[in-house]
């Protein structure tokens, strides 16, 4: 019994010593880290014509060959509605960055309307790229909606920094988009269109009745078709910077206006030489045929059609969207494109 007791005591001391050593090693590792760990969040400082500000970014994964920067829509929505990418890209081994553009909820929101122009946003993306260490050997840019406009504009100026470009659910022309919206509107019942016209003629876009009609009859059919909108999508709408959105886009996805009203880059698409994936969807607010034409207009294009998708096809047609986007990235990375 005495020997058993001594043996147990020795084992106990050995285990405790081992635990203390592991804790000490962990403490030394943490203390040797120069910066406080933030779970991947980095506030990137950018310079603008009216001063310096900070924008929010978050890193997932680590891959020296594949680094993807997501550009959200709006303008002035947030990265939140694209959080579903977290369920797909990191497990493929891709390095991914979420990012709130200047004016959006998690970034600085300066009160200066001179900042809200497409060229200024392009320069912001370039500064973010440099700060995150992305380059022509690993940098993939994925933009949805307004983020697609921004991605196209960035590629037209800075494509030498890109390895691949993904335009998700964005036509290359706002006037064409407005025409397609008119076509979608014409498919609605006449009594509904008459009601919408009455509110719009008075500029009463915030009327709860008008908002409810647009949400039920348009957003639920063409923005996101899931019976219950995902919490990250609802969170984005809560955090929308409405002033910037209206200034650039107009009062809603249904009524186009603002500074982007004449934006059209169809004639410039042949200048894009990097591998490009254009994504369209059957129920999108964007004409899927225009997205197919975009893929043919660039020098190295591919088209992805989501038969069950809408404007947020990465939510309502994930089974089509993600396998094909992932395959495009892998094909470019392995020089199979």
Residues labelled as active-site residues: 145, 284, 311
Pair 279, 166: CB distance under 8 Å:
yes
The helix/strand/coil state of 141 is strand
Q: 296 and 270 in contact (C-beta within 8 Å)? A: no
Are the C-beta atoms of 314 and 168 separated by less than 8 Å?
Answer: yes
Name residues whose C-beta falls within 8 Å of residue 296's C-beta, 6 or more positions apart in sequence. 303
Nearest to 43 by CA among 116, 81, 97, 90: 97
Strand order through the sheet with 51-60: 41-48, 51-60, 95-100, 67-71, 139-144, 164-168, 276-281, 301-306
The bridge status of strand 164-168 relative to strand 276-281 is parallel
Distances (CA, A) of 167 to 111, 150, 247: 30, 10, 23
Indicate the angle between helix axes 118-132 and 146-158, nearest 10 degrees: 70
Contact between 71 and 150 under an 8 Å Cβ cutoff? The reply is yes
Smallest Cα–Cα separation from 44: which of 98, 120, 111, 93?
Answer: 98
Strand partners of residue 277: 166, 302
Taking each helix axis as running N to C, give the angle between helix 174-186 and helix 190-201, from 0 to 180 degrees, rounded to the nearest 10. 130
Q: Classify residue 268 by its DSSP letter.
A: G
**Closest C-alpha to 50, from 122, 114, 119:** 114
Contacts 24+ apart (CB under 8 A), 108-113: 108/53, 108/54, 108/55, 109/241, 110/48, 110/50, 110/51, 110/53, 112/50, 113/247
């Amino acid at each position: 019994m005495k020997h058993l007791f001594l043996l147990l005591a020795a084992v106990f001391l050995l285990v405790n010593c081992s635990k203390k050593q592991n804790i000490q090693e962990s403490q030394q590792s943490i203390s040797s880290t120069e910066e406080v760990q933030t779970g991947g969040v980095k506030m990137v400082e950018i310079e603008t014509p009216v001063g310096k500000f900070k924008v929010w970014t978050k890193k997932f994964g680590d891959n020296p060959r594949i680094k993807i920067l997501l550009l959200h829509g709006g303008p002035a929505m947030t990265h939140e509605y694209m959080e579903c990418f977290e369920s797909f890209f990191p497990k493929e081994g891709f390095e991914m960055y979420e990012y709130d553009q200047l004016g959006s909820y998690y970034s600085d929101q300066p009160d200066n309307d001179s900042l809200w122009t497409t060229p200024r946003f392009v320069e912001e993306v370039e500064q973010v790229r440099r700060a995150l260490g992305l380059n022509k050997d690993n940098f993939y840019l994925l933009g949805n909606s307004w983020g697609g406009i921004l991605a196209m504009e960035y590629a037209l100026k800075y494509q030498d920094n890109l390895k691949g470009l993904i335009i998700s659910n964005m036509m290359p022309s706002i006037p064409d988009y407005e025409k397609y919206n008119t076509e979608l509107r014409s498919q609605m019942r006449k009594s509904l269109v008459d009601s919408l016209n009455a509110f719009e003629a008075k500029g009463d876009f915030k009327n709860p009745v008008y908002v409810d009609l647009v949400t039920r009859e348009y957003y639920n059919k063409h923005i996101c078709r899931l019976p219950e909108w995902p919490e990250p999508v609802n969170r984005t709408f809560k955090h929308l910077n409405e002033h910037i959105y209206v200034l650039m886009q107009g009062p809603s996805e249904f009524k186009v206006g603002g500074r982007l009203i004449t934006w059209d880059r169809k004639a410039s698409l042949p200048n894009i030489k990097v591998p490009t994936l254009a994504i369209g969807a059957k129920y999108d607010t964007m004409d899927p045929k225009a997205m197919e034409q975009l893929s043919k207009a660039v020098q190295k294009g591919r088209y992805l059609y989501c038969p069950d998708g809408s404007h947020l096809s990465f939510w309502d047609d994930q089974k089509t969207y993600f396998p094909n986007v992932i395959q495009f990235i892998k094909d470019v990375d392995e020089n199979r494109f």
